Amino acid sequence: MSPSPAVRTYSFGNWLIDCQRRELKCDNITVPIGSRAFEILEKLAGCAGHLVTKDDLIGSVWSGLAVEDNTLQVHISAVRKALGKDRDLLKTISGRGYTLAGTWRSGHLDQPAATSVSVPAIESFSNNLPNTRAPLIGREDCLSEIAELMFAYRAVTLVGPGGIGKTKLAIELARLVASSFDGAVALVELATLHDPALATSTTARALKLALSDKEVSAACIAQAIGSRRLLLILDNCEHVIDVAAQIASAALRYCPNVTILSTSREGLRIDGEYVAAIPPLSVPDSGLRDPGLLLQASAVQLFVARTQSLRANFSPGADDLLKVAAICRRLDGIPLALEFAAAQTANLGVDTVLLRLDRRMELLSGGRRDQLPRHQTLRATLDWSYDLLSPDEQRLLCWLAVFPAGFTLDAAIAMMDDALSRSDVIETLFNLVGKSLVALDPSFEGRWRLLETTRAYALEKLAEAGLCEQASRRHAGFLRQLIMPPGDASPASDDLTRLAQEIGNVHAALDWAFAPSGDAALGVELTAGFVPVWMQLLSFMECSTRIEHALAHLDGELTCNPRLKAQLYVALGFALLNTTGSADRMKAALNIGLALGEELSDLELQLKAVWTLWSYNLNSGQYDAAKSVGERYLEIALRTGNPANETVGRRLIGAATHFYGAQEEARRELTLSLDHSAHGLKDGANQMWFLLNQSVLAKAMLARVLLLQGKIAQSRSLAAECLEEAQREKDKLAIAYALRNAVCPIALMTHDVATADQAIASLLELVTREGIAFWTSWTSCLKGQLLVLQGRHHDGIELLRSGLKARAENGWLMRNPEFLGSLAEGLFAVGESAQALAAVEDALAISRQGQQLWCLADLLRIKGEILLADGSSDRSRSEVLFSEGLSVAREQQCRFYELKVAAAWARIMAASDRQQTALDLVGPVSALFDREVDLPALAFARGLAASPGISISTGGDDRPPSCTCH
């Protein structure tokens, strides 16, 4: 062995500058620093405490090159960034130069000699990068980010799955930074090697070293490079990873001016290495349809460019671009797979390629002849990666392929419980992650996924081994345990959010379970267990379809727990309630579920069925029936002894009573419901019954009651409060409910156009995004009301008619009298008096038929105004209607509508010079409203009171209360 050479160091406090290894360390941890910045720091440390002029620094670091001051300043900033909290050690002497503060001691580290073999140094070297270039699409950000990393780290490894484009990116990076290495770039192509021992000789040949295979070693290569500035690219290291790591490590240790850029499907795991994971190209979101935005996705750009290179007349229109985007998504934005698909598109067309992607292994082939053999077909690319795995890694990869929506660590352990220990599964999974075959799911914490192409390949391998059925059964069994753990009653809200991540896996498990070779009983259990998740996701249509599929098996030869069957029927009723499904099917399902619940003496199940029946009666406008069902609910609730159930029962009665027209009784019941929910029931009872927030529901309904009782400010405040609560809890159904039943109608009734416009837009966006088809008729009617209020009568009429038609087709009559009243006002405003009268007559008939009496007084007002303006009727007929309206409003203690009716009648009187009589009618009720309240009827009453010579009467019983005024 030759003597150990001396290595110079500088140290101060917890800092160490290793001049031989070109490393800066703090507390023995390597700190990233670029090569030029390191040389500046080395120069300053050697002159610590003394001024080093700018010219001295430039001459030392950029010898013989013309460098501007701003270049020096950039690297000075890099030194300060590396020093971090000790950045003030580097002092600027204004106009002169720099000095490094502190007592920096020089020293030496003993280090073994690189080699005992005499190796000739490389005299000169110019780069051996390929001359041919193809545009690198979609990698601009990657290029600039990794180029910066290469000046901060001396070893950067590009990792990613096969076909991600690591080699192309490395070559373009080398071209980008070559000038920083004086043009010296050595590309070592390792892909074709079958023997790892040949990696060192291949590297030596790339460096033009005249050494035999026996003489060459990693240390020899490092000695030959010496102190030359060089970028060494080790391409495709994964199959020779150990030898590649030795070469890179030796170069970093002994060659101070070498930077290593490697490509591999896993990191080299050497000291000082930065592993840069190369992402797929960007793909468009599934909901995106705009051609211009689709073309902004780099995956689409690559696909179109490659197809056009093979078929010059390929010019996809809007429809074809949607199909191209779908192909890009299904291929996960992997460049090599996209190039294969583009080649097939040039021959077969977009439609055929998209249809045949399920057989992608056969379809995606035909790579360029100048590519590596493993890049000639997609299967060959994946074979290359798969063959490098250990048997345990291969097994885990294949069994994880049955998870289409990703998986957790617990899922991986469950799939391997008879083959690998927990610690072995964890190690094997992390190996697969390191080898770029399993990726962290960026959407969810603690989840991993296989790229779709990798998953398709692994499923093929699973099928070849005859293990598909076994893996699918274990997959479904794991999900059943996850969704329905033994002894657990019902999942909490947080659990449902977590379980929602499994929806794609549940789809796959159910498809397998109900297939001829599956396990239908397991499928029924999975369906029942996942119902609360579908409800929370507002996926009512899917929920009803899945339940009916499960029940079809139960109604056949399959038998199961009767409680499970009852739960499915009740859940089906609830799902149909929230879709455009048949009311008859819904009621039939609920009646079966309720009967089974009574046979089982299951009070909680009975409550769910009765609650859903109440919802049906309320939505269909049968408020007398809804009140009776609500009372039945409360009777069962009190038998359970659970105060949470009483909370719901009080709310059901309160809501039905409100629409029935008994506002004071409604206020009492709703207040009792809120009192219960305010005493420790928020977490349990407040989130019961398919995750409906009872507090929000009760507050929304109470806000309506307060409005009708003339408490406008309180009503608006409570409506805003219930919406804020729903938004705070991110409860989508509660948000929709608060908007639909409180914020929107209260804003419309009080002529708060700005709030109404914003609230209706929010409701429409939520309903559209979540696909709640049943609620679209609500948004149509509410928007129609707003347009009529704004004077856009024809548009409002059209929307109201379409919304009312959709509601009638589904048997939903809730609040239809209110909407028909708005339609009548719109028609009357455009001169269609006969149609307006017919609309209000329909409203009155529906109101009386289902006891929808809460707005009866206002409907009588509307009819009276239409008859009065029509001129064909005696004024007395209108006055009879106004008188009846006042009586109804006063009987219901509804000041809001009393004010509206009184104002309408008072206008007639004032128009016939009976101002004092008019004021005697409207004045007392208007005086009961706060001065801050601004309503059209109040403005009229106050204007009347300000007229000279008249004053408000103090009469008692003729006093009219409050409402929205026209």
Question: Strands 97-100, 90-93: parallel, antiparallel or unpaired by DSSP?
Answer: antiparallel
Q: How far apart are CA 825 and CA 609, in angstroms?
A: 39
The SS3 assignment for 7 reads strand
Tens digit of each residue's pLDDT (9 = 90 or more) over 628-641: 999 999 999 999 98
CA distances 101 to 463, 628, 702, Å, are 68, 86, 72
Q: Residue 558: pLDDT band by 50, 70, 90 thresholds?
A: low
- Name the residue with higher pLDDT: 654 or 443: 654
Give me the mean pLDDT over the 138-143 stretch: 89
Mean pLDDT of 886-907: 95
CB–CB of 846/816 below 8 Å? yes
Of the candidates 97, 140, 109, which has an alpha carbon nearest to the alpha carbon of residue 10? 109
- The alpha carbon torsion through 444, 448, 452, 453 (nearest 10 deg) reads 150
Can you tell me the mean pLDDT for 601-620? Answer: 90
Q: Is 909 in contact with 878 (CB distance < 8 Å)?
A: no
Is the alpha carbon torsion for 543, 544, 546, 547 positive or negative? positive
DSSP assigned state of 99: E
Average per-residue pLDDT for the chain:
86
d(C-alpha 718, C-alpha 697), whole Å: 11
- Sort strands 6-12 and 97-100 into parallel, antiparallel or unpaired: unpaired
How does DSSP classify residue 278? P
- The model's pLDDT over 807-836, given as tens digits with 9 standing for 90+, comes to 888 777 889 999 999 999 999 999 999 999
Instruction: List, for residues 72-110, the tens digit of each pLDDT value.
Output: 877 888 888 889 888 889 998 887 899 999 888 888 765
Question: Is the pLDDT at 34 greater than 80, yes or no?
Answer: no
Give yes or no for residue 523 having a pLDDT over 90. Answer: yes
Residues 132-141 have a mean pLDDT of 80
Using CA atoms, how far apart are residues 910 and 324, in angstroms rounded to an integer? 70
CATH number of 392-466: 1.10.10.10
Q: Which of 621, 602, 681, 679 has the alpha carbon at shortest distance from 645?
A: 681
CATH class of the region 491-601: mainly alpha
Measured between alpha carbons, how far is 421 from 428 in angstroms, rounded to an integer? 10
Beta strands in 794-898 (DSSP E): none
Which residues lie across from 30 on neighbouring strands?
25
| CATH class of the 6-110 domain in this structure | mainly alpha
pLDDT tens sequence across 111-128 = 444 444 455 555 556 688
* Domain 140-277, architecture per CATH: 3-Layer(aba) Sandwich (3.40)
Alpha helix (H) residue ranges in 214-270: 218-225, 241-254
Nearest Cα neighbor of 739 from 773, 766, 709 is: 766
Going by pLDDT thresholds of 50, 70 and 90, the confidence category of residue 580 is low
pLDDT at 685: 36
* Domain pair 392-466 / 491-601, same fold: no
Cα(289)–Cα(446) distance, integer angstroms:
32
According to the per-residue pLDDT averaged within each range, which of 360-364, 459-463, 558-562 is highest?
Answer: 459-463
pLDDT of 747 over the 80 cut? yes
**Mean pLDDT, residues 713-731:** 94
Q: Please state the pTM of the whole predicted model.
A: 0.69
| Helix-helix angle 468-483:520-536, to 10 degrees | 50
Quote the strand ranges of 352-509, DSSP E: 439-440, 448-449
pLDDT of residue 2: 35
pLDDT above 50 (res 593): yes
Q: What are the sequence ranges of the domains in the chain?
A: 6-110, 140-277, 291-380, 392-466, 491-601, 622-688, 886-966
Q: Which tens digit of pLDDT belongs to each residue from 283-328?
A: 999 889 899 999 999 999 999 998 998 888 899 999 999 999 999 9
Is 3 a residue whose pLDDT tops 60? no
Q: Rounded mean pLDDT of 895-900? A: 96
- Gap between the Cα atoms of 855 and 838, Å rounded: 17
Among residues 343, 335, 385, the alpha carbon closest in space to that of 364 is found at: 343
pLDDT of residue 484: 86
Q: What is the pLDDT of residue 871?
A: 67
Q: What is the mean predicted confidence (pLDDT) over 737-765?
A: 96
- For 448, the 3-state DSSP assignment is strand
For 446-490, what is each residue's pLDDT tens digit? 899 998 888 988 999 999 999 999 999 999 999 999 998 765 555
Q: At a CB cut-off of 8 Å and minimum separation 6, what does 905 contact?
A: 864, 879, 882, 883, 886, 918, 921, 922
Span 405-421, mean pLDDT?
A: 90
* Residue at 495: amino acid letter: D
Tokens representing 125 are 């070297």
CA distance 705 to 707: 5
- Report the distance separating Cα 766 and Cα 332, nearest Å: 29
Does 939 have pLDDT greater than 80? yes
Sheet containing strand 90-93, edge to edge, reads: 52-53, 97-100, 90-93
Distance CA 241, CA 574 (A): 58
Could you identify the residue written with the tokens 């120069």? Answer: 43
